[in-house]
A and B are shown apart, each in its own frame.
Chain A
Amino acid sequence: MKLVIGLDGQSSGEKALEFAKNMAASMDSCELIVVYVIEWSPFSFQTAEENAQRHKRREEEISIAMERVLNPAIGSLKDAGLNARAVVRHGDVADTIDDIAHEEGASQIIVARSSAGGLTTRLFGSSTGNLVMNARVPVTVVA
């Protein structure tokens, strides 16, 4: 059985991780895929200079995500004796988490309750909200 856990680098992600840990512990064999999505759109506008440095920045963004969010998470899961691995990808948060779950054949996605607020969320909805509405596999939202 495979579980996809979406983290956003906020403290609420800890709860999602904890929930997944307990769930996995009660199962015989379970693979945990911890995902961090760097918000990015191929249709944004950039200056020529930003474009020239884009590849370098992307590598930096990926290594920062691994260092600060994913490695600690994977570490704590492995310490608990679980089978876990990390995936970092650029894209729309909700779509990308769903895509990964679909590609991996995961049976469930576990995410934390949306931590963002304010006007943007009111207008466009949160990533968690979008994921719940559009995901192709069951989603558990941890409060």
Chain B
Amino acid sequence: MNFIYRLFLTAAAFFAIAVPASAQEAAMTLDEKVNSAFAGATGWFVSAIFAPIPGTSFPWIVMWLVIGASVFTIYFALVQFRFFGHAISLVKGDYSDPNDAGEVSHFQALATALSGTVGLGNIAGVAVAVGIGGPGATFWMILAGLLGMASKFTECTLGVKYRNEYPDGTVSGGPMYYISKGFDELGLPGGKILAVVFSIFCILGALGGGNMFQANQAHAQITQITGDFPGWITGLIFAAVVFAVIVGGIKSIARVTEKVVPFMGILYVGAALIVLIVNYNMIGWAFGQIFAGAFTGLGVAGGMVGALIQGFKRAAFSNEAGVGSAAIAHSAVKTKEPITEGFVSLLEPLIDTVVICTMTALVITISGQLMIDQSTGNYMLNEAGSAIATVDGNGGVALTSAAFGSAISWFPYVLAIAVILFAFSTMISWSYYGLKAWTYLFGEGKTTELIFKIIFCIFIVIGAAASLGPVIDFSDAAIFAMAVVNIFCLYFLMKVVRAELVSYSARLKSGEIKKFTH
């Protein structure tokens, strides 16, 4: 394990050195230097993950996720629809033993996992999808969200089943544990190695999508309001606050965020609903655009396939189904039946993608920010031909902000606060996921944990300073790399989940598992 440890230190040192080394090119600003060093250092990794299937423009990784989600959907016979009602009952606490009061409830495990996923993916990611793939991307995003519920169900059941419960009462769970323990139990070789590979990708994902993407988009949102200023300033401030929480142990900041974020989420959906209600006569048209765009592309780059790729990509990035991160968050729940947390977790992609992401997509479509060529009814492309031209030339979170702003003029300010808080809570969640992978590799201990936390804070500054392109690419690549290992292993472990499902359904039917009367 020592080798990997050194590899990480080398990588961290590389980022530290790469920045001053290019400082000799005097004409570049600090932001540009960070950006070019970053793009240069991560380009090969991004290309490998997003390599197209030979002869097509379809990235193999997107296919991998969709096939995985479809296999789980079929293998568990549409579990996401059959047990939907049961999942709601579980979250309400109908099946919770009153003697377990004070332990982590299903609701709490779900809320914690959601605060890690609901965030910029829903605001900025959707804008990227719709901005490039057109409204049609929304259709594929919803489909991916519905299928993804089955992936989430599979991984979270395993997360609880194979978690570690330590003598001091704390728990640790996640793909690294179910891969190594599950493979051992089934007598399959290589579990330990796969768990290590997953952990490495999880650390990169934590630094990428869970950190740099968040810092980057938070900065973009702030400059939208304050005017342009260097990203490293935002980065340093964020890094200082995150440092105070995860290293300084200032729990009050985290606690405040955890309480404010759900309200921000409700506020966001509420504002989206208001925009939709005000423009109720356009909702039918918007859905028309979504369906037409899904199958024709309506002139977007790459046509229907372009819309499909964007939709699937952003859905996966937003709800993280198949990635394995949620299994870490869900594994702390108190339950005697691991599968109950699987049922609860399938609500996550539904809330995240099918509800919240769709809201964002509808608001952007209805706002008229995407420019339509009136003569053909198709969307107009920007000068580079890479995305749809927008009224103000915006992309990412700025597009969402402009779309809301066109209906509620002061909403961009609220959105800015929401984005900052979402970014912050996602960073806190991912710092935990990354840390769990890190301690799985290097063992638990104050010093090893501190090293990871410091690296995590350094990456916040890098993420805020880099430009959107390379950061988004690397963030996607790192998160999807986790899914490569995770889904591969889920194929071997899914029979364990099926045995649980068969046994649980039988006991639920026979009345052996019944509601507690409260």
Contacts and interface: CB of A to CB of B under 8 A. Distances in A.
Interface of A: 38, 40, 42-56, 58-59, 61-62, 89-91, 96, 99
Interface string B102-119: 111111110110011000
A90 B428 CA distance: 27
B374 interface: no
Nearest to B96: A42
A96 B518 CA distance: 10
Contact of A40 (B98, B101, B328, B332): B101
A108 B152 CA distance: 48
Interface string B365-393: 00000000000000000000000000000
Nearest to A96: B101
Interface stretch (B45-53, B163-171, B455-463, B471-479): B163-171
Determine chain B's interface SS by DSSP, over half rule.
helix
Given A38-B102, A47-B428, A51-B109, A56 B258 contact: no
A42 B329 contact: no
A47 B101 contact: no
Contact of B108 (A46, A49, A59): A46
Contacts of A89: 101-102
Nearest to B332: A51
Interface in B263-277: none
Contacts of A99: 98
Contacts of A47: 112, 251, 254-255, 258, 428-429, 432
B262 interface: yes
B303 interface: no
A61 B254 contact: no
A2 to B, nearest CB: 19
Contacts of B259: 45
Given A54-B332, A56-B170, A48 B116 contact: yes
Contacts of A53: 169-170
Contact of A46 (B112, B168, B170): B112
**Most chain B CB inside 10 Å of its own CB: which residue of A42, A61, A99:** A42
Nearest to B430: A48
Given A47-B428, A47-B432, 14 more contacts: A40-B102, A44-B108, A45-B261, A46-B108, A47-B254, A48-B116, A48-B328, A50-B251, A52-B171, A53-B170, A54-B332, A55-B171, A61-B102, A62-B102
B109 to A, nearest CB: 7
B108 A42 contact: yes
Interface string B154-172: 0000000000000011111
Interface in B169-209: 169-172
Interface in B301-348: 328-329, 332-334
The 4 lowest CB-CB distance pairs between A and B, nearest first, are: A90-B102, A56-B169, A42-B105, A51-B332
A49 B112 CA distance: 10
Contacts of B171: 52, 55
Contacts of B262: 45
Nearest to A40: B102
A48 B111 CA distance: 10
Contacts of B334: 54-55
Nearest to B172: A52
A48 B103 CA distance: 13
B254 A52 contact: no
B93 interface: yes
A45 B111 contact: yes
A90 B101 contact: yes
A61 B101 CA distance: 12
A44 B115 CA distance: 13
B101 A45 contact: no
Nearest to A42: B105
Contacts of A46: 104, 108, 111-112, 258
A58 to B, nearest CB: 4
Contact of B168 (A38, A51, A56): A56
B384 to A, nearest CB: 40
Contacts of A91: 98, 101-102
B166 to A, nearest CB: 9
**Most chain A CB inside 10 Å of its own CB: which residue of B107, B115, B170, B251:** B170
Contacts of B93: 42
A5 B252 CA distance: 34
A89 B97 CA distance: 13
Contacts of B328: 48
A55 B429 contact: no
Contacts of A51: 104, 108-109, 112, 329, 332-333
27 contacts: A42-B93, A42-B106, A42-B107, A45-B111, A45-B259, A45-B261, A45-B262, A46-B258, A47-B254, A47-B255, A47-B428, A48-B116, A48-B332, A48-B429, A51-B329, A52-B171, A52-B172, A54-B103, A54-B334, A55-B103, A55-B169, A55-B170, A55-B171, A56-B169, A59-B169, A90-B101, A96-B101
Nearest to A44: B108
B213 to A, nearest CB: 19
B445 to A, nearest CB: 16
Interface in B104-136: 104-109, 111-112, 115-116
Contacts of B428: 47
Contacts of A38: 102
A58 B103 contact: yes
A109 B103 CA distance: 26
Nearest to A43: B107
